[in-house]
């Protein structure tokens, strides 16, 4: 995991990576690599106890409870904010009824963990592609894989682009942040949704927006949380994020995801790892009672 060149918001790399050295993140050869998720959760509880950390992410969106009272003002609606970054994770970081199939502990570094689509796909939808899709350090995507896409919005006057810097400005170094989280299952089907259309950026009302975000459900789950990413598996994130998570899964044509990985303005070329699900009530906000 590199911290020198890219500081992604809300999940790809921890925000603190912009000021941290590579030593702040575990390497594949460290003891962290052998840690179980249970051990990492215990380390997280110990490292945050009594430190005043606010609510953390990701979480089970079907469980509304939480005892963290360090509330903050919810960010404005996305229509009043600028889209600054889009990225995605392999497997869902959040857990919900439609994406509750546990992928396993993975390697302890956020790879091959998280949650998967809980439904069923046809044999045709699962037909392999001839070429690898979004291949990265930890392999390529295949039909049947689940991804969680994060559309990151900022109250700063910014333009969409790669890295954390795209969400900040010289005049506003601590803007309010909102992440619109959408879970997709990849299928080999030209009739499924086009990922290029879902990530196309335009301007509306003077703000940069994802121009075809037609996935805003009436039952979106909104809550107060933090940035995510495996760099925070054993330490708390100090950054405040308003989350809105779509509890439904949408099928997307895997070929269109592959084309997006080949060329996009966010310089995203592969899926990223996930942070462990937060289960400690002391690190969760109560959903539905935010300030």
Residue 125: what are its φ and ψ, rounded to 5°? -65, -25
* Cβ-contact 278, 57 below 8 angstroms: yes
Q: Which two tokens stand for residue 150?
A: 């994060």
Contacts of 133 (CB under 8 A, 6+ apart): 140, 141, 142, 186, 254, 255, 257, 258, 261
Query: Strand, coil or helix: what is 134?
Result: strand
**Torsion angle (degrees, nearest 10) of CA 126, 129, 132, 138:** 10
Query: Strand, coil or helix: what is 255?
Result: helix
Instruction: For residue 219, count CB atoms less than 10 angstroms from its CB and return exposed for 0-12, middle for 13-18, buried for 19 or more.
Output: exposed
pLDDT in 10s for each residue of the chain, 291 residues: 223 334 444 443 333 333 332 223 333 334 444 468 999 999 999 999 999 999 999 999 999 999 998 989 999 999 999 999 999 999 999 999 999 999 999 998 999 999 999 999 999 999 999 999 999 877 899 999 999 999 999 999 999 999 777 999 988 878 999 999 999 999 999 999 999 999 999 999 999 999 765 577 889 999 999 999 999 999 999 999 999 999 999 999 999 999 999 999 999 999 999 999 999 999 999 998 544
What is the model's pLDDT at position 49? Answer: 96
Predicted TM-score (pTM) of this structure: 0.88
Residue that has been written with the tokens 């962290």 in this structure: 32
> Quick one: which of 144, 111, 123 has its CA closest to 233?
111
What is the model's pLDDT at position 35? Answer: 63
């Amino acid at each position: 995991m590199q911290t020198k060149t890219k500081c992604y918001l809300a999940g790809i790399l921890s925000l603190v990576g912009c000021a941290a050295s590579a030593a702040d993140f575990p390497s594949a050869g460290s003891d962290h690599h052998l840690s179980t998720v249970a051990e990492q959760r215990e380390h997280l509880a110990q490292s945050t106890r009594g430190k005043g950390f606010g609510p953390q992410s990701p979480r089970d969106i079907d469980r509304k409870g939480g005892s963290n009272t360090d509330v903050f003002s919810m960010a404005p609606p996305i229509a009043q904010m600028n889209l600054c970054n889009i990225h995605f994770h392999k497997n869902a970081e959040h857990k919900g009824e439609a994406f509750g199939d546990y992928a396993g502990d993975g390697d302890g570094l956020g790879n091959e963990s998280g949650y998967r689509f809980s439904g069923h796909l046809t044999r045709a939808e699962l037909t392999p592609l001839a070429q690898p899709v979004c291949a990265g350090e930890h392999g390529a995507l295949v039909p049947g894989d689940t991804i969680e896409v994060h559309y990151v919005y900022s109250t700063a006057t910014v333009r969409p682009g790669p890295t954390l810097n795209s969400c900040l400005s010289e005049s506003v170094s601590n803007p309010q942040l909102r992440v619109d989280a959408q879970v997709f299952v990849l299928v080999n089907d030209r009739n499924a949704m086009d990922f290029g259309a879902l990530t196309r950026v335009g301007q509306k009302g003077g703000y940069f927006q994802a121009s075809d975000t037609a996935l805003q459900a009436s039952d979106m789950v909104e809550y107060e949380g933090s940035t995510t990413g495996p760099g925070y598996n054993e330490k708390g994130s100090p950054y405040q994020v308003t989350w809105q998570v779509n509890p439904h899964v949408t099928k997307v044509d895997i070929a269109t995801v592959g084309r997006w990985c080949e060329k996009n303005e966010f310089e995203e070329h592969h899926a990223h790892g996930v942070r462990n699900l937060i289960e400690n009530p002391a690190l969760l906000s109560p959903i539905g009672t935010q300030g």
